[in-house]
Structure 1
């Protein structure tokens, strides 16, 4: 259960980001500056956690007896190969791509439609898993995806706003964000899953930061802008966007699987709606709140079903 909670908490932390980004944009900061400060903070926090983890491992080895200490010490000082590090860095790049293409899509299509397109990762994740494993999703998974899709459409306000003029470029960017997010969910569980989550997270954030620096050179580090209010936004975005999700996904996804992680990740939407209503004072209609509740039901449905099955077996035996 703790691995399900870890993935759920990681997804919920993503829901906070949109509110923070809107506040940062309101202060006049640009996409490269906001995302750059976010990943820089996440990079520093992730490596601090990695070094603290290494220190704890070595300390534990010293407290063991002589025979056990040699084994524990070997495990503590075991290093990832460069091939493994590069693999983890590559696995971290989809998060950067997701953020960039999603925010770029907002220039061409309404926010409600962009959110809907982003949340297509629910069925895209399942589709990727089905292709890789060469098996069809079970009926419960299909029902869950149907509930999530319907709830997402309602929660995004799409039914109330109706159809607007379709922009092909915006649609393509929105779907790209969904695909890249699905790849992140998949890679975060597959890439060097035997390594400690703290090390995996640090290298994944490093890969994302390197890619972002190539696309958006971090000029804010040299022109003094980092010491403005951008630092506050960067800390908040780094904690909730780069540090917490990376650590929690690296911890939970290898144990629960990419398909279930993709479903639980939908918890980001209701959190985003709630934060927008409380912090940004945006109007959220009753119909949209119904959509949020439907999404929560879709997220909880698989676990409720498993709980009911296990309870029935315990009563039977």
Structure 2
């Protein structure tokens, strides 16, 4: 397992952890939810389509070279087979990908709005509840009871969340219920995004898939929040910088690095490394936003990380034992 593929997934996951800090800083400058999410998806969409165009150019160049070799070696049949190897996107495929990308926009809206009411360190912990929510959804859909390791994982996640939220250190919670609700709803939305995105035209190149999915999210946000910032001059203020950073670290870098690293390290290890988002977000909220994070809360973060990693470590151990027998 090459280190560069491990690092690519680790850096991609850590990039997600930066987002909440940038959003809180943008709110501090007076920008609104629709403006922040709109500029994020707009810049992310532009970057994704530039990557898709570059990928298409590379594929055409490679196809021309292979076609020339095939024609000189075995005639036109091999050239036609090579061209047919890459599936073509129909408009039905494009619409499906756009629909599959909409939950990620909804996740951003819910998660970023929760940051108006609760600390970033708590918001990211609530978002990470997608781990047990996805287990619950799969158990209901497949009518299968979770096994012992999954039940133990759920206990770890819920216990870690209580500690990370700081609920054990105060008699009465000072967090608005709407902030907690928005954070949990973002976890539900993120779960749906994971379920839909994995099934949406998986045979298509990741660059094209991500471009169309981000486009779908952008269309939804622009419908919910008309992009007045494009015409009133607000885009050319600090909003452009915040939007570019959010688009770069949220909509562009992670999908690209995941596409590079995950095929080489496997989904199990990618799931473990993906948990890096949580400590990065809490660290930045503590050092950049000056949020107070106690040692007990850090203990809760570590327990949540263990809860995220435990099922994947168990699967990896089971696969290793199966190969040895």
Instruction: Sort the TM-score into its range (normalised by shorter chain).
Output: 0.7 to 0.9
TM-score by length of 1: 0.84
Long gaps (5+) in structure 2: 71-76
Deviations 1:140-169 (A, max 9, x none): 223223222322322232322444378665
Contact kept, 8 Å, 1:189 with 1:250, in 2: the verdict is no
3-state SS in 2 of match to 1:193: coil
Deviations 1:210-230 (A, max 9, x none): 000011111111122212211
TM-score by length of 2: 0.82
Name 1:226's counterpart in structure 2. Answer: 235
Contact kept, 8 Å, 2:275 with 2:309, in 1: the verdict is no
- Counterpart CA distance in 2 for 1:94 and 1:116 is 19
1:49-128 to 2 correspondence within 5 Å?
Answer: 49-64=51-66, 65-66=69-70, 68-76=78-86, 78-105=87-114, 115=124, 117-128=126-137
Name 2:45's counterpart in structure 1. Answer: 43
**CA displacement at 1:305 relative to structure 2:** 3.1
Contact kept, 8 Å, 1:19 with 1:272, in 2: the verdict is yes
- Structure showing greater radius of gyration is 2
The 3 A distance-change label for structure 1 pair 161 and 185 is farther
Contact kept, 8 Å, 2:24 with 2:115, in 1: the verdict is no
Name 2:278's counterpart in structure 1. Answer: 269
Task: Verify: 1:25 aligned to 2:18, yes or no.
Answer: no
3-state SS in 1 of match to 2:88: coil
**Matched pairs, number:** 312
Deviations 1:167-224 (A, max 9, x none): 6655544432221111011111111111111111111100000000011111111122
- Counterpart CA distance in 1 for 2:17 and 2:256 is 16
Contact kept, 8 Å, 2:272 with 2:309, in 1: the verdict is no
**CA displacement at 1:291 relative to structure 2:** 1.7
Contact kept, 8 Å, 2:21 with 2:284, in 1: the verdict is yes
3-state SS in 2 of match to 1:149: helix
1:63-212 to 2 correspondence within 5 Å?
Answer: 63-64=65-66, 65-66=69-70, 68-76=78-86, 78-105=87-114, 115=124, 117-164=126-173, 169-170=178-179, 172-212=181-221
Contact kept, 8 Å, 1:7 with 1:265, in 2: the verdict is yes
Long gaps (5+) in structure 1: none
**CA displacement at 1:120 relative to structure 2:** 2.8
The 3 A distance-change label for structure 1 pair 244 and 134 is farther
**What is the root-mean-square deviation of aligned Cα atoms in Å?**
3.2
- Counterpart CA distance in 1 for 2:8 and 2:191 is 18
**CA displacement at 1:21 relative to structure 2:** 0.6
Deviations 1:216-253 (A, max 9, x none): 11111112221221111111100112223445667859
3-state SS in 1 of match to 2:226: coil
